[in-house]
Every structure is written in C-alpha cells, then in structure tokens.
Structure 1
Amino acid sequence: MSNRAPAVQARDLTKTYPGGVTALRGMDLTVESGTVFGLLGPNGAGKSTTVKILTTLARPDSGTATVAGHDVLDHPDRVRRAIGVVAQKSGADPVATGRENLRLQARLHGLRGAPLRERVDALLDRFRLTDAADRQVRGYSGGMLRRLDVALGLVHRPEVLFLDEPTTGLDPEARAAMWDEIARLAGEEGLTVLLTTHHLEEADRLAAHIAVVDRGRVVVQGTPHALKGELRGDAVHMELREPVGEAGRTLLSGALTALPGVYEAFFDGRRVSVRAEDGAAAVPALLAALERAGAGVASATVARPSLDDVYLRYVGRRYAEAEAEAAATDGTAGLTLAGGAR
C-alpha cells in the first residue's frame, strides 16, 4: 500500500434525487494513489452518482469527499484541474477530426504553441490514432472512439482519471485492447484510475482493489483475490428441475449445510449454490440430499469462487438478478462530460 495520502476519499455520501430516488445511502471509499480501483455494481447501484460527486458535477446531500487532496465542495476548481473524466457517452465532436478534438481540449487547459502540438502528437501515438488523426471522428470504430475519449481525458496530465463504464458497447477484441490500455496507465505511468463497471470480468482483471456497490452503498471491498479467497473451498452450482418456495428453501438449506464440509447455501429461482471444502467430492452427497428432500436436480457444476460468488454472499442475490432488477427501474443518469472536467 502507498505511503502517500489517498488519491480519493469519500465518507458517508448520501444523495436523493427529486421524486424520492435515493442513489447513495452512506458511500465510503478510499482509493490509494497509483492504483486502479474498481467500483463494481449493477446499473443503478450508485456508481455514476458517486463519480458525479467526486468530479464536482453533483453535490451530495451529506457527507464529505476529497480528490487529489482537495475537498470537492470547498475547492471544486482545484479538483477539476487535477482530474480527467471519461464518460459513458463520448464527448468528442463527431464532425471534427481526432486531432482537432485533442487540440481543442488542450487549448481549454491552457496549452499553446509547441507544447500543445507535442502533447497532441504524443497522445495520438500513445493511443494508436496517428493514422486516423485527420479523419472525422464520426468515422471511427467503437474502439478507436473510446481510445480518443481516454486521450482527451489525459491531455492535461491529471492525477486521477475517472472512467465510467469505459468498455460499454465494445466488441470483445476492442474491450480487451482497452483493458490493456487501462492497465498500462496505472502500471507504467503511475496514474490513479477510478473505474466504474458492471462487468465482473473487467473488475477482476483490472482492479487492484474493488468495492462492491449495491443500492447506494458499499457492501464489501478488498482485492479481488482476497475477496474470492475468503470463500473457502469450491462453489457448487446446481439447477433444480422445479422451483421451490420459501419453506422448501429453508428445508433444503438445512439439509445441505448439515453435510460435512458444506458451507453456505443460496437460492436464486431454480439455482442452488453452496460452498464446499472439496466441491467435486461433495457433489454426490449434495445430489442425494436434495433428492431425499424431494428436489430433483437437472445439472451441477463445480468451480473456484468468482466475484459473482462474492456478490451472492454479501448481497444475497446473484449479479445477473441484480442487473435484471436494475433494468426494470429507472437508474440515475450517467455522466455527460468527457475529457478533462471543465
């Protein structure tokens, strides 16, 4: 862990939007300098609202926050000079070229003459956009546009870069390329990156430290490795032939956790998930216990614990279920600003 002061620190942030939509219910965050920190949660969990507050685009109802050592409420101008922001929706001018977009962003941050040209050329090269630099942005692929968005956010060499769902809408190849870029920003350049994502794999691969966010609060945080390591043994997932009611789930849970070497049991519709000391060895006993209790099993799989299992343990429902829940309601709006905060 770094001996420097945290790059981002938030304490007990709350936010309720007009109409009574509560986005944050006491958000606490500490992001160490020079790391990639992941805010992981389904759409509507409060990730984008948190980023809005940290980037001075919204005010909390209560709580405090500092970014790069500056209070977001007392010194918003200082915060804006210290950060770069890449929103979910690109802020690049589609009828301007990539070079023109970068030049405009550089001028907004006070660069002129040779320093401006050098910075723009360096970013075009860094993000492999030199060949497309003088083409209109509306002709860029999704991956090229996202690379340009990140370049715009880095024009003024910020201390902290906020990436709000940076790979949404990208194909697998472009997503993997963006992951490599983000990893290099922290690893080679020492930049602090706060990444919001609803992709489990993205958080697992990129973030040195993650906070799992659900319904406006952090439910657990730590390194992906440590969080998965807290779940002893293997994850065994079984699909029942028929769903069971509340009374049935209580009965089945008791039958399963009574088996030697079997820990917590969770139910999600017809899916049953348990943790076992030795998953493969436990499967026959688990199947037999379910059959004795009158619950037929259609399939069973064994895997090492994943972030989905972490989410299930701490939130009480699967990640896909939380995403479906969020899709059925109106989430808070994402950021509308791209590039360095202005």
Structure 2
Amino acid sequence: MTSQRPPRRRLLTNPTVIVLTVAAGAAAAFGLFVWLYPEPEAPEPATPTPAAPPEQTKTPPEPRPAPTEPTTPVIAGLSGWETQEFRKIEEHLKAGGDVNAKMRGLAYTRLHYYATKGSRELVEYLIEKGADVNLVLKGCDAPLVWAVAGAHQEVVKLLLDKGADVHGCARHARTPLHVAAEKGNREIAMLLLKRGADANSGGGSVLHSAARGGHTDLVELLLAKGAEINATAGPDNRTGLHEAAARGHNDLVRLLLVKGAEVNVTDDSKQTPLHLAIREKHLETAEVLLKQGADPHAIDYSGFTPLHRAAADANIELAKLLLDNGADVNV
C-alpha cells in the first residue's frame, strides 16, 4: 500500500506579501515591548522652595556706660543715707542750684540739715562747694547752733575750723554756748569756750541755762571760766541759785552756795531761793538753804514769808522744817 506524503507548504514568494508580513510582525513586536516596558510618567514639576531670606546682621547695642561714682574722696566714708543725700547735692548743683538755697518746701538749708544730722562729710562737702557757715535762718539760727543742739562735736569743730562765728546767734538772743549749756554738753561747751565763747554772754544767762537743767559739772566749768555766780537774767531777773532751787537740783544748790552764791538774793518779785523751794515743795532743797543761812522771814511781793507759803499749801512737812529753823508764826 502506497503511503501518501503530506502536501508541501507553498512558500511565499510574492514580494508584496513578504513586506506586509514583516511589517505586521514588527508592529506586533513593538506593541509587546511597549506593554512590557511602558514609558515612565514624567514627574510633576517640583514646587520651588522659597529661598531663605538673607540673614540680617544685627548690630549689637552699644553697652551702657557704667554709672560713674563721684570722684571726690568724700564718698568713701558715707553711710547709705549719706550716699543718697550726696547724690541729691550733686544733682542740685549740676542743675545750677544755689548751694545756700533752702531745701524744697523747708525753712532751712542743706548745711543746717546736715549739721543737725551730724554728717561731717556732707557738711564739709557743702562748705567746699561754697556753703555759708554763718548763714542764719529767720529767727536767727546759724548752722553752728544746729550742730551744737544735735550734740555733734565733730561737726561743731569743723564749722569752727571753717570760720563759723562762735558767738553766732540763736533764737531768743542766745549763743551756741547757751544751747550747749541747756543741753548739758560739757565737752562742746568747753570747745566753744576754748574758741572764744564768753561765759557771761547774754548777761550771765549761760549759767542760768545750765542751772535750769541741773548740769552741775557744766556750771562748775562755767564758774571756772569766769561766769558771774550772782548774775541775774530772765524775765524775773533771777540768779542761778534761784533756778536750781526752784527745780530741786540739790547738788547744784550745794555747789553754788559753796562757790559763793548769795543765799538771800531776791528776784523782781522779791522772792528768795527759799521762797521758790517752798513753793515748789522741795523739802530737801529748803533744808539745804536754811542750813546755809536762808532767811525764813523774808517777805515776797505778796507779803508772804516762806512759812505763809507752806501754810497756804497745807504742807505740814515744810511748815515744821521752817519752824524748826526759827520761823516765827507771828511774822
């Protein structure tokens, strides 16, 4: 049996067909390539980041000048309060203020104020700047008087060294020595006396000022410096013994009597020291006076003896003392 061979395929020989076939294959191959390798998507355009502003160069502030301390040596020794006051003075003067002007709203100058406060440094500084050491206020008060009243011995000495008048006026016709006597400041009184103060100024009233306060040691100093022991002063023209007896300053009464005070001296009201001691009920003072010769029968302006005064006050102790010392009930 004869086998049949499969029919042989006819090769494409037509050129046109060949070209078309090749083109179709190439297109298919390109499509496959595109599918396998798609073209990457174009990236979205980046949003531009704004550029940082150029860094500004800051100019550092100029350093503040450190507060300048006053160049004057006075500042070194000042307290906190004095330092504040010193700056006030500087500001006042730099603004053209008068160094002798009264302080704002007050009746006194800075020199008076610092003198009574006892600030030697501030007083000295003001004087260096032209403050008048003898400038008096209304009523007649010099800076020296204020320093004496405040018992500031160093300031008193400074003011005297700078030309303060040792006789400078104080109120009520007094002197700095009167003020020292009233205050009982023996050291300042001695300083003033050494600088020329008069122990009998004011008609001897310096002694009276000390006697009223019972300042025995100061009275003794004044007597040693020439104070007149029986000088009279004041509205009633009394002596130092009158003043001491009226206030019961027994030690001072003894001193004055020992130094020669007149025990029966009278004032303008004809009152003796004994009258005043009885009137003020100073039993021991009356006893001291009687032992030194006080007259129990002396009669004052109203016709009263010391015994009359004791009886009027119903003071039995004083009446008995007077009777024991010779007082006559019939006088």
**Normalised by the shorter chain, which TM-score bucket?**
under 0.3
Structure with the higher fraction of residues in helix conformation: 2
TM-score (norm 2): 0.27
* Higher RCO (Cα < 8 Å, 6 or more apart): 1
